[in-house]
Amino acid sequence: MYGESGTDATLIMLAQTLLAPIGIMLLALGLWALLARQRAGTTAFWTLGLALAFWVSGSWIGGRIGLPPQRATDILVLMGAGGLILEWLHGRTAHVERWWRLPVVLAVTLTLLGWQLWSVLGRMEGSTQVLHFLALGLLFLALYGVGTRPRVEPVRDALWMLIAAGAAPVIALDGTLVLGQLAGALAAGCGVIWLAGLVFGPRVTGLGVAPPLLLVALLSAAYLLAGVNPLALLLVAVGPLLIALLRGLHPLDARGLDNLRTLVAGVAPLGLALWTVWPDGSGY
């Protein structure tokens, strides 16, 4: 965006980070309403929309479509396709006992993340690689496990939006603007799913597997590729999860109020994460 005025650059960033993913997700919602509203839920349409939104925004932000993938960020942009695979696997194995399908979902996830991050992980010693894969697996299991719990389901989409929105400024401040914008694009896409669920009710089903994959892919890229403070990333990811679980101590029947409470409480760990990476001096 060099050579452009500040206003033009800001408008382009807004279009890349917010307008493009929101537009694509609204299109997915419209297609569901026209083609399948009486027959099926929105999961397939949301998954396709989120994968497309992440790819379009990421390609626009990075200045290349990621095909063929040559860099780790190219693979990250394509990770939405991995979300498609995981959501399909999750749906096809819905009748299988949870503890049988979990290893399959985890194996696919770690394979995709290993492919994305191999440019860094491949230079590490074997024991260090194992530790990193273990950390990636645990983070995914935490997000996936909490997000698929029945009592968390009413606020699940708010949870994904909250984590992605919190990651965006943290990564932009302490890492790279490109990855921060990608996190913002994911937050925008998840935000459409969340708002649609509140407006249209349980007929609009959310996503339980693709967002955790994309969040782990983003957070791991921020740490391994951009050197973002790991404590800040942990606060961004784990803080909202704990809040989503603790809300069960005082349940609310009104879904809107329950979501609002989760979002307001989630500001605390995200604010702490921002404080962790905030520059000591003025940026000017």
Average pLDDT, the chain: 89
The Cα–Cα gap between 255 and 251 comes to 10
Name the phi and psi angles at 6, rounded to 5.
-60, -40
Q: Which residue has the higher pLDDT, 277 or 151?
A: 277
Query: Torsion angle, CA of 32/36/37/42, rounded to 10 degrees?
Result: -50
Q: Which of 4-13, 77-86, 129-138, 249-258 has the highest mean pLDDT?
A: 129-138
For the full predicted model, state whether its pTM sits above 0.75: yes
Closest listed residue to residue 16, CA positions, set 225, 263, 184:
184
Q: Is the pLDDT of residue 219 over 60?
A: yes
Per-residue confidence band for 36, with pLDDT thresholds at 50, 70 and 90: confident
The answer to whether 225 touches 72, Cβ cutoff 8 Å, is: yes
Contacts 24+ apart (CB under 8 A), 125-134: 132/224
Tell me the per-residue pLDDT of 119-150, one tens digit each, with 9 for 90 and over: 999 999 999 999 999 999 999 999 998 888 87
How far CA 247 is from CA of 30, 159, 188, in Å, comes to 33, 12, 24
| Coil/strand/helix, residue 65 | coil
Eight-class DSSP state of 154: G
- Point out the least confidently predicted range of 75-79, 192-196, 254-258, 277-281: 277-281
Tell me the per-residue pLDDT of 50-79, one tens digit each, with 9 for 90 and over: 999 999 999 999 888 877 787 888 899 999
State the pLDDT at residue 186.
97
Per-residue confidence band for 255, with pLDDT thresholds at 50, 70 and 90: confident
Tell me the per-residue pLDDT of 94-103, one tens digit each, with 9 for 90 and over: 666 667 778 8
Q: Which residue has the higher pLDDT, 251 or 97?
A: 251
For residue 68, whether the previous peptide bond is cis, meaning omega lies within 30 degrees of 0, is yes
